[in-house]
């Protein structure tokens, strides 16, 4: 009898339910449900509609019952840094505010009154991003202190959904590290830092590793979806799950792996067994996020496909409908040489991404892109150049030479960008699998159920199970 595992993978723009099973040493996937997501304005804030998202989680679970494919376990992963505060009744205090909201403006300076940035990085190893949880919590403390005072629980978004499913509150490790409040030395909350920032220590309990059993479904949920199953923590930070699914050629080492988890964000880096919290690392803006099996995801956040996604949506609103493939095709025919800094805050949440790109080029005295093809070319080329710069930084810091780059996630399907990445980095690019986050989610559950004898074997099975496409740089091909 087949054992099914259910991954609920929720990204910033959509979510999906994917069933996985292992057959003859191969992982098989079946997407059974998909739904939309996005931040919505609410009382002057950009918020996540967590009630609607949980309803979608349940609807997808009902599909398992309809298909007669009941999972032995399930787990939920989402984006990082965002959270909810709960009162003693388990109700949300305020709103589930999203990371693109501007409530954190100026909160970095508030934090640095307590601890300078250099010391904060030395203690946590997490790169500064103005939307990190530490700045969001500081915003709550300064703007709505009553919520912090009344709060009995602090849960990251996937932890909250697991709580709604089981009635059990657990704080998962990989996502917790993105708060900038976890020590990479102890792997637990930095309580001295938390106390110095004036945050209630009671909100931060024991951290649970991926593979931990949360519990069974509540009676209410069982009655609604029509079955019971175990809820097992995946790496609840979607990037941590995606990195778990970076394929490894059987017999190859995991220690010299370079990856890009490519989606709304491009997360580019390698894995370390020990965090690098040096000044050099901080100045290069790398982060040491927790990964599966206490490995560190040493990476840089790059704006990623958010820019082209925004352009596509904006063009659609103007009545100009293009697929991503069409935008890539048009971009490949352009000769415009203008480049933008993909990590400039101008591109984080502009009212118009097209206008933001044009204004950046105008201010830098570069050729201003006008057509959809030119705008797309500027974005894709800028991303590839950013990847190339990041490779050089990684090699300088780690002292290693990386021969290839693994691109996983939805962006692995962007053939034009993959080829640009190979050309600009002069490295072989291996693209795939596209559903890396869901696969990584499933791997954590499968490892907990002893389907594989460790992470390396699981990654080798990923390589054998899914199509991986190879791209050579033009220089390599000569």
What's the length of the chain? 478
Largest CA distance in the chain: 66
Q: How many CA atoms lie within 13 A of 185 on its CB side?
A: 7
State how far the Cα of 433 lies from the Cα of 410, in Å rounded to an integer: 8
Q: Which of 9, 82, 238, 423 is catalytic?
A: 238
State how far the Cα of 285 lies from the Cα of 72, in Å rounded to an integer: 41
| Closest C-alpha to 469, from 393, 424, 416 | 416
Q: Which helix (H) or strand (E) holds 386?
A: helix 372-398
| Closest C-alpha to 211, from 42, 383, 452 | 452
The string of DSSP letters for 314-358 reads HHHHTT----HHHHHHHHHT--------TTSGGGTS-S-HHHHHH
DSSP state of 35: E
Token pair recorded at residue 43: 């009382």
Instruction: Please say whether the beta carbons of 5 and 27 come within 8 A.
Output: no
DSSP state of 255: T
How many angstroms separate the first and last alpha carbons of the chain? 51
DSSP state of 218: P
- Specify whether 238 is catalytic: yes
| Closest C-alpha to 292, from 231, 241, 230, 232 | 241
Token pair recorded at residue 416: 């034009």
DSSP-derived 3-state class of residue 453 = coil
DSSP-derived 3-state class of residue 462 = helix
| Closest C-alpha to 439, from 403, 405, 463 | 463
State how far the Cα of 240 lies from the Cα of 248, in Å rounded to an integer: 16
DSSP-derived 3-state class of residue 29 = strand
- Show which residues are catalytic: 238
């Amino acid at each position: 009898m087949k054992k099914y595992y259910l991954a609920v993978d929720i990204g910033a723009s959509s979510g999906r339910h994917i069933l996985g099973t292992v057959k003859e040493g191969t992982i098989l996937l079946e997407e059974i449900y998909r739904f939309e997501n996005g931040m919505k304005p609410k009382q002057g804030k950009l918020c996540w509609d967590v009630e609607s998202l949980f309803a979608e989680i349940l609807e997808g679970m009902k599909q398992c019952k309809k298909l007669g494919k009941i999972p032995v376990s399930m787990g939920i992963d989402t984006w990082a840094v965002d959270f909810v505060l709960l009162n003693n009744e388990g109700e949300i205090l305020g709103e589930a505010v999203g990371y693109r909201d501007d409530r954190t403006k100026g909160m970095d300076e508030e934090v640095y009154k307590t601890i300078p940035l250099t010391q904060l990085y030395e203690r946590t190893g997490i790169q500064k991003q103005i939307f990190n949880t530490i700045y969001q919590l500081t915003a709550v403390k300064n703007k709505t202190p009553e919520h912090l005072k009344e709060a009995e629980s602090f849960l990251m978004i996937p932890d909250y959904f697991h709580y709604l499913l089981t009635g059990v509150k657990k704080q998962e490790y990989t996502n917790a590290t993105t708060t900038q409040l976890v020590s990479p030395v102890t792997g637990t909350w930095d309580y001295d830092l938390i106390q110095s920032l004036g945050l209630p220590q009671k909100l931060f309990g024991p951290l649970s590793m991926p593979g931990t059993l949360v519990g069974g479904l509540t009676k209410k949920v069982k009655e609604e979806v029509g079955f019971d199953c175990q809820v097992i923590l995946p790496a609840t930070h979607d990037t941590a799950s995606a990195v778990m699914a970076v394929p490894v050629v059987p017999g190859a080492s995991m220690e010299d792996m370079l990856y890009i988890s490519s989606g709304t964000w491009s997360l580019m880096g390698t894995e370390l067994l020990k965090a690098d919290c040096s000044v050099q690392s901080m100045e290069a803006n790398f982060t040491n996020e927790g990964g599966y099996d206490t490995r560190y995801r040493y990476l840089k956040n790059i704006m990623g496909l958010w820019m082209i996604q925004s352009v596509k949506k904006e063009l659609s609103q103007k009545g100009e409908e293009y697929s991503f493939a069409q935008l890539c095709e048009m971009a490949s025919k352009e000769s415009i040489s203008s480049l933008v800094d993909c990590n400039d805050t101008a591109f984080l949440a502009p009212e118009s991404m097209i206008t933001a790109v044009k204004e950046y080029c105008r201010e830098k005295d570069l050729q201003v892109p006008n057509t959809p093809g030119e705008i797309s070319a500027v974005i894709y080329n800028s991303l590839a150049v950013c990847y190339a710069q990041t490779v050089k930084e990684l090699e300088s810091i780690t002292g290693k030479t990386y021969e290839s780059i693994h691109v996983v996630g939805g962006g692995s399907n962007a053939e034009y960008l993959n080829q640009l990445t190979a050309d600009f980095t002069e490295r072989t690019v291996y693209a795939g699998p596209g559903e890396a986050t869901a696969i990584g989610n499933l791997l954590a559950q499968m490892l907990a159920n002893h389907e594989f004898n460790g992470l390396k074997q699981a990654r080798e099975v990923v390589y054998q199970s899914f199509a991986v496409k190879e791209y050579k740089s033009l220089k390599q091909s000569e």
